[in-house]
């Protein structure tokens, strides 16, 4: 156990996962046995993959530092010796190549999902390896909702004040102790006067442990950004379709506080949140594509491991009741053929 603990302090990803699962289970069952409990750390299924990802990323960052210094010298912004930087870069290059080979080998060892994922235009070896390393074990996500929640696309009960601002989760984890001896303690919120419970999108709140894996969320976001850049068939059309739909339905930005077009809002300075701006519509479309990508990954990965697929995956995309088959978006696997075979509820639920 000593090894596992040490590993988790380096990157406490399993702690977050454990927390998510507990919260999900708790909301499923509608009760909590204890208000205070220490998280028990669960070992990773693919610890080597995570370690080789970290090593590759460290080497990339190191190389980047020296490239920036060399660039500054070339621009005349630095008086450092250029040959020194050039020699360092030349020394890092073979190490980086070896790190990438190792990363690919460790990602391939996860199973056929690596090959299928990198078969999608815009998903390179390092991006795929990073996602696989962070999800680690698809068997621990019995439903797509669990994976969405882990990746930052979940809902939970939050205490909201009179102004509509989220103040605290109904229940969550707070960090106690010093950095080296950190302990996550489960806490039930004591609501203040005027607060009420609302089911909201998961959010990060100061003082509380994030309810999701923030790094996975940003990695999935990176994947979708790459789809737009590379014009990945299927995903890029979905992105433009979502953006276009919103632009048609909401041709003018709206003040969130007043609920009127921004041009009619009388308190522009204090009412900062505007809906249906280009940035807001971009974020909405990115979110939609991210959820669909995660769903595809979940379906395909689970099929390759012979795991059951729960029925909600057919209807679960954004509540629109449409199922987007992974094979229509470039995944080299016939998921339709599996629908009748494994399209059933997991035995445990
Ligand atoms: Zn307003």
Q: Is residue 126 part of a domain?
A: no
Domain boundary among 55, 89, 109: 109
User: Does residue 226 sit in the same domain as residue 199?
Assistant: no
User: Does residue 251 sit in the same domain as residue 279?
Assistant: yes
What rounded mean pLDDT belongs to the chain? 84
Tens-place pLDDT, residues 220-259? 999 999 999 999 999 999 999 999 999 999 999 999 888 8
Residue 165 Cα, ligand 1 centroid: separation in angstroms? Answer: 16
Please tell me the total count of domains within the chain.
3
Q: Which helix (H) or strand (E) holds 136?
A: none
* Residue 335 backbone dihedrals phi, psi, to 5 degrees: -75, -25
**How many residues would you count in the chain?**
349
Cα–Cα distance between 158 and 183 in angstroms, integer? 23
Q: What is the DSSP letter of 43?
A: P
Q: What domain range is 245 assigned to?
A: 138-148+215-342
Residue 268 Cα, ligand 1 centroid: separation in angstroms? Answer: 6
Residue 261 Cα, ligand 1 centroid: separation in angstroms? Answer: 8
Q: Which helix (H) or strand (E) holds 196?
A: strand 196-201
More confident residue, 30 or 320: 320
User: Does residue 12 sit in the same domain as residue 72?
Assistant: no
Cα–Cα distance between 287 and 284 in angstroms, integer? 5
Q: Is residue 132 part of a domain?
A: no
pTM of the model: 0.80
Q: Is residue 347 part of a domain?
A: no
pLDDT at position 311 is: 56
Residue 252 Cα, ligand 1 centroid: separation in angstroms? Answer: 14
User: Does residue 54 sit in the same domain as residue 95?
Assistant: yes
Domain boundary among 168, 190, 211: 211
Burial of 85 (0-12, 13-18, 19+ CB in 10 A): buried
User: Does residue 37 sit in the same domain as residue 70?
Assistant: no
User: Does residue 171 sit in the same domain as residue 246?
Assistant: no
Of 23-27, 123-127, 208-212, 264-268, which has the strongest mean pLDDT? 123-127
Cα–Cα distance between 263 and 268 in angstroms, integer? 9
Which residue is associated with the tokens 């190792």?
102
Q: Which helix (H) or strand (E) holds 275?
A: strand 274-275
Which residues, including other chains, have CB under 8 Å from residue 128's CB and lie 6 or more apart?
A: 107, 114, 117, 118
pLDDT at position 58 is: 97
Domain boundary among 165, 188, 211: 211
Q: Is residue 120 part of a domain?
A: no
Residue 271 Cα, ligand 1 centroid: separation in angstroms? Answer: 5
Q: Which helix (H) or strand (E) holds 254?
A: strand 254-255
Residue 15 Cα, ligand 1 centroid: separation in angstroms? Answer: 41
User: Does residue 261 sit in the same domain as residue 207?
Assistant: no
User: Does residue 322 sit in the same domain as residue 246?
Assistant: yes
Residue 241 Cα, ligand 1 centroid: separation in angstroms? Answer: 29
Q: Is residue 298 part of a domain?
A: yes
């Amino acid at each position: 156990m000593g090894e596992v603990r040490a590993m988790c302090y380096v990157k406490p990803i399993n702690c977050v996962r454990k927390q998510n699962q507990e919260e999900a289970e708790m909301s499923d069952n509608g009760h909590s046995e204890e208000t205070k409990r220490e998280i028990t750390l669960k070992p990773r299924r693919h610890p080597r993959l995570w370690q080789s990802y970290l090593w590759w990323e460290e080497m990339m960052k190191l190389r980047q530092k020296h490239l920036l210094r060399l660039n500054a010298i070339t621009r005349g912004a630095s008086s450092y010796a250029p040959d020194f930087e050039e020699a360092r870069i030349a020394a890092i290059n073979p190490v980086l190549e070896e790190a990438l080979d190792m990363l690919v080998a460790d990602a391939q060892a996860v199973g056929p999902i690596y090959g299928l994922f990198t078969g999608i235009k815009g998903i390179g070896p390092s991006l795929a390896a990073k996602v696989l390393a962070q999800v680690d074990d698809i068997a621990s996500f019995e439903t797509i909702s669990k994976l969405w929640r882990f990746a930052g696309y979940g809902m939970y009960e939050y205490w909201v004040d009179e102004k509509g601002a989220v103040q605290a989760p109904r229940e969550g984890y707070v960090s106690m102790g010093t950095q080296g001896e950190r302990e996550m303690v489960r806490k039930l919120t004591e609501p203040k006067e005027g607060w009420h419970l609302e089911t909201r999108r998961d959010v990060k709140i100061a003082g509380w442990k994030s309810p999701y894996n923030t790094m996975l969320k940003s990695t999935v976001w990176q994947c979708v950004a790459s789809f737009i850049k590379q014009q990945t068939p299927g995903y890029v059309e979905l992105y433009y379709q979502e953006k276009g739909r919103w632009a048609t339905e909401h041709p003018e930005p709206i003040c969130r506080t007043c609920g009127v077009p921004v041009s009619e809002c009388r308190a522009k300075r204090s009412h900062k949140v505007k809906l249906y701006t280009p940035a807001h519509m971009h974020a909405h479309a990115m979110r939609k594509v991210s959820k669909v990508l995660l769903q595809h990954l979940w379906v395909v990965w689970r099929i390759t491991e012979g795991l059951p697929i729960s029925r909600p995956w057919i209807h679960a995309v954004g509540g629109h009741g449409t199922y987007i088959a992974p094979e229509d978006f470039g995944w080299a696997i016939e998921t339709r053929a599996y629908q009748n075979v494994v399209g059933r509820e997991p035995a445990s639920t």
